[in-house]
Structure 1
Amino acid sequence: MDADKQRNDKNQVLDSKIPGAAYYALGVLTMVYSFNFIDRQLLAILQESIKADLGLKDAHLGLLTGFAFAAFYVTAGIPIARWADRANRRNIVALAVFTWSFMTSISGLAQNFAQLLLARIGVGVGEAGGSPPSHSMISDIFPPQKRATAMGLYSSGVNIGILFGFLLGGWLNEFFGWRVAFVVVGLPGILLAIIVRFTITEPMRGQSEARTASVTQAPLTEVLYVLWSRHSFRYLSMGAALNAFAGYATANWTASFMIRSHGMTTGELGTWLALILGLGGAIGVIAGGYISDKLSKRDKRWYMWMPVLALVVGLPFTAAAFTVDGKYMALACLIIPGIIMNSYLGNVIAMSHGLVGLSMRATASAILFFIINIIGLGLGPWSVGLLSDLLTPSFGGAALGMALLYIVPAIMMMSALFFYAASRNLQRDLSLAPD
């Protein structure tokens, strides 16, 4: 009888209406994630001007947008996540926003590659404190059956950030130069840090599931063991990493490709990419989480099948974008991939949290993002830049497009295979999650 009452009480909590404060917190945290990607994506639209001003090569640009940034981002991510699993997550997010916004602003003062590299490392360390604590808070606010939708809304910050990063960066660079663009885009984040600190309430751990978190933090080795013992996590993390590889390579190099191959200006190009990769991508990532939550009522494997479908549909359009004649035809080919490329994000975060205990979630996010970013962000842009330099003697100005064509479609297909493999063990692994 007591067990039945506990189940009924738990179901009432899960089915109860989510308060407005929860949606406010989700909205502010999504804005935080948007600023994260505005500051990160800004470099992609500015890099041709920076390359000319500072005398850089494509490999240098690939390091700035890829591995050098990712190495510090992921290295700082796990210690900060461990802190977030036992401390006030709201305060950690506020401190992180302040740090990366300040470092973005001073990027405009760089006089050489080394100085710009150090500033971007500072951005990476600051941004490492944004997502794991935010993910953990969202999982405590929204119940499991609505979590992928909530994570999808939060993850739309990637594309909102891309939208404003391209739009603001493109026009600010055209009229005022790349240095002013960094300063203007970075400063508003300091105000956002204050909003986070004083208007969001730290949620109680486990409140969305009527569960009580252990007062003892699980050791990092235990979290790693739980995740590694779940075959679904092994495959979904690799699927996500390869999807991110293709996504970051495309997002970070498309602007340079369009400028070199089609002669577009940063203002016009920034506007087009803002709409395609920004607005379109935001719609896709929100829809991906929402549709998966609906379909998962029949079968949990839809959380992995949705990314598979997105990658298969987007692959031929991606390949065509780097081969067709005419700038507007190339931009048109990017529309479908732009909408669906990041639709996996809400799903993989929600499933990673579903596989672990309440006090492991920020750490689980950090581990997931470590894998995603060291492979996706670290190797994606850098690999394309390196191959572009190698192909330049043979292909000249077309080398960057060829590098994207050789790398991105193949990685997308590999990602789809990993997501499909993850679906085979997902339902069983979710049932084994500890408290």
Structure 2
Amino acid sequence: MSSPTSLPEVQATFVAQRRALTLLLLTLAYFFSYMDRQILAILNEDIIRDLHLSDAQMGMLGGLAFAIFYAGLGIPVAWLADRSNRVRIIAIALAIWSAFTAAGGLATNFWQLLGARIGVGIGEAGSSPPSHSIIADLYPPEKRASALSIYSLGVGLGAAFGTIIGGVVATKYGWRVAMYVIGLPGLLLALIIWLVVPEPKRGLSDAQVAMEDTKPTLADGFATLFSNRAALHLIAGFTLTSMIGYGHTAFGPAYLMRSFAFTKLDIALKIAPAAAVILGIAAIASGKLADRLTRERGLYAQSTMVAVLKTCALPFTITYCLASTTQLAVGAYFVAIFFSTAYLGVTFALIQSEAPVRLRATWAAIMLLINNMIGLGIGPMAVGAISDALKPTYGTESLRYAMFTFAAITPWAIFHYWRAGVLLKRKWAERQATI
């Protein structure tokens, strides 16, 4: 006669059965966050004309103003997520940022739009750290890179579909309606996540669970992360890569419009769909490759993989910035994003694998705090400021050289991923020696 199944076992089985659905819904939330975050890029030129703004002001709206609140609130929200129900936090956060995205369509001046974008940043602070923590609980280390690479699809696909939807709607109905169309559907998704996604047990997919019965402090999160040199190099590489990416994404459509006479519809219907397909293939393939390398060589190989792929991407990124023809610029852009996409999901997975189980959301939030204050906070604003400074010399071509300046930083990021791989390999070898 079989023994009765305990309630915790029943709950664990239920959570496992919904693992794929949970990953899908969390990826959709991340997708919506990037649509809402990057919608300004395709609307850039329309907003500048309508509200009489400069490139630097647009860079502030898309960067620093958002990043200060997004990154700053991420720490207390993550602390709460490590101690309470993460699913509820994500659902509430999604509802907040979706509402403020739509509210941006009501703005009639810079300060009103600034307020709306700050609201988006406040809401999005509650999305990624608890999502990383949940996914790490649902997937074991040897499958974690694939899972978090699927989750990272939200970045590329969100930005691409935000461009597609925003470009088409803005062309026909204006930029304000585009903000409503992008923002409001997130309210429905928030309700679905609240009702459907289960809260998994901490460390559900880990062989050994540390600190399971304790509630760590915020100081524990900072102390454990800043004592991990490999994690610090990962965060440095991630932050520098994001700074370049955010700067290019914020002004990429404007660059194509100014330097190659693209229209919003050209970008929305020709560039963005192709980019979405390439980003999707690259993210999934890089996650599977990372997991395979983990099984064959160890976790350290994931960081080395990112360094190699970023090195492959660099000449194409530079070509994209300096190309003299449309065909060369677009071709180089597609190749560059194929190789560049690998870093995101892999970095998320590495950080979650290094983090103590009860501090996963806090580690993710600290990483995102540093990344967004520097990467998102400085990236778009600096590209805009450099472009404004170069306009007297280069006119409409100023964005080209502002974006090239940022692309030239890439070797610095590559070094940090390489160094993280060296340190992780050393730790892996030490563990193997004790077995």
Normalised to the residue count of structure 2, the TM-score between the two structures is: 0.92
Q: Is the 8 A contact 1:288 1:343 kept in 2?
A: yes
Residue 379 of structure 2 corresponds to residue 380 of structure 1: yes
- Shift of residue 221 of structure 1? 1.4
* 1:88-107 paired onto structure 2 within 5 Å: 88-107=85-104
Q: Which 10-residue stretch deviates more, 19-28 or 277-286?
A: 277-286
SS at 1:372's partner residue? helix
SS at 2:205's partner residue? helix
Could you tell me which residue of structure 2 aligns to residue 4 of structure 1? none
Residue 157 of structure 2 corresponds to residue 160 of structure 1: yes
- Shift of residue 329 of structure 1? 2.6
Could you tell me which residue of structure 2 aligns to residue 9 of structure 1? none
* 1:328-347 paired onto structure 2 within 5 Å: 328-347=327-346
Q: Which 10-residue stretch deviates more, 273-282 or 35-44?
A: 273-282
Could you tell me which residue of structure 1 aligns to residue 197 of structure 2? 200
Residue 181 of structure 2 corresponds to residue 184 of structure 1: yes
- Shift of residue 349 of structure 1? 1.3
Q: Is the 8 A contact 2:202 2:212 kept in 1?
A: no
Could you tell me which residue of structure 2 aligns to residue 245 of structure 1? 243
Separation in structure 2 between the aligned mates of residue 335 and residue 358 of structure 1, nearest angstrom? 37
Number of residue equivalences: 416
- Shift of residue 242 of structure 1? 0.6
SS at 2:201's partner residue? coil
* 1:225-374 paired onto structure 2 within 5 Å: 225-297=223-295, 298-374=297-373
Shift >4 Å, 4+ stretches: 210-213, 428-432
Letter in 2 for 1:423: G
* 1:28-47 paired onto structure 2 within 5 Å: 28-47=25-44
Separation in structure 2 between the aligned mates of residue 256 and residue 283 of structure 1, nearest angstrom? 26
What is the aligned counterpart of 1:130 among 127, 130, 135? 127
Separation in structure 2 between the aligned mates of residue 248 and residue 274 of structure 1, nearest angstrom? 16
Normalised to the residue count of structure 1, the TM-score between the two structures is: 0.92
SS at 1:217's partner residue? coil
Gaps of 5+ in 2: 1-12
Separation in structure 1 between the aligned mates of residue 278 and residue 52 of structure 2, nearest angstrom? 34
| Cα-to-partner distance string for 1:80-138 (whole Å, 9 max, x where unaligned) | 00000011001000001100000000100000000001100000110110111111111
Q: Is the 8 A contact 1:74 1:370 kept in 2?
A: yes
Letter in 2 for 1:295: L
Q: Which 10-residue stretch deviates more, 227-236 or 337-346?
A: 337-346
| Cα-to-partner distance string for 1:35-83 (whole Å, 9 max, x where unaligned) | 0101111110001100010000010011011111111110010100000
Q: Is the 8 A contact 1:155 1:286 kept in 2?
A: no
What is the aligned counterpart of 2:422 among 406, 421, 424? 424
Q: Which 10-residue stretch deviates more, 277-286 or 93-102?
A: 277-286
- Shift of residue 405 of structure 1? 1.2
RMSD, aligned α-carbons: 1.7
What is the aligned counterpart of 1:67 among 51, 54, 64? 64
Could you tell me which residue of structure 2 aligns to residue 85 of structure 1? 82
- Shift of residue 193 of structure 1? 0.3
Q: Which 10-residue stretch deviates more, 264-273 or 356-365?
A: 264-273
Could you tell me which residue of structure 1 aligns to residue 172 of structure 2? 175
Separation in structure 1 between the aligned mates of residue 339 and residue 366 of structure 2, nearest angstrom? 24
Separation in structure 2 between the aligned mates of residue 412 and residue 214 of structure 1, nearest angstrom? 39
- Shift of residue 215 of structure 1? 2.8
Could you tell me which residue of structure 2 aligns to residue 118 of structure 1? 115
Separation in structure 1 between the aligned mates of residue 165 and residue 179 of structure 2, nearest angstrom? 10
Could you tell me which residue of structure 2 aligns to residue 8 of structure 1? none
- Shift of residue 300 of structure 1? 2.4
Separation in structure 2 between the aligned mates of residue 429 and residue 359 of structure 1, nearest angstrom? 21
- Shift of residue 282 of structure 1? 2.4
Letter in 1 for 2:316: F
Separation in structure 1 between the aligned mates of residue 269 and residue 418 of structure 2, nearest angstrom? 35
Letter in 2 for 1:132: P
Separation in structure 1 between the aligned mates of residue 79 and residue 200 of structure 2, nearest angstrom? 17
- Shift of residue 210 of structure 1? 4.7
Separation in structure 2 between the aligned mates of residue 376 and residue 87 of structure 1, nearest angstrom? 29
Q: Is the 8 A contact 1:247 1:341 kept in 2?
A: no
| Cα-to-partner distance string for 1:254-303 (whole Å, 9 max, x where unaligned) | 10000111111101112233234433122222222210110122132211
Q: Is the 8 A contact 2:16 2:138 kept in 1?
A: no
- Shift of residue 331 of structure 1? 1.2
SS at 2:394's partner residue? helix
Separation in structure 2 between the aligned mates of residue 405 and residue 40 of structure 1, nearest angstrom? 23
Could you tell me which residue of structure 2 aligns to residue 414 of structure 1? 412
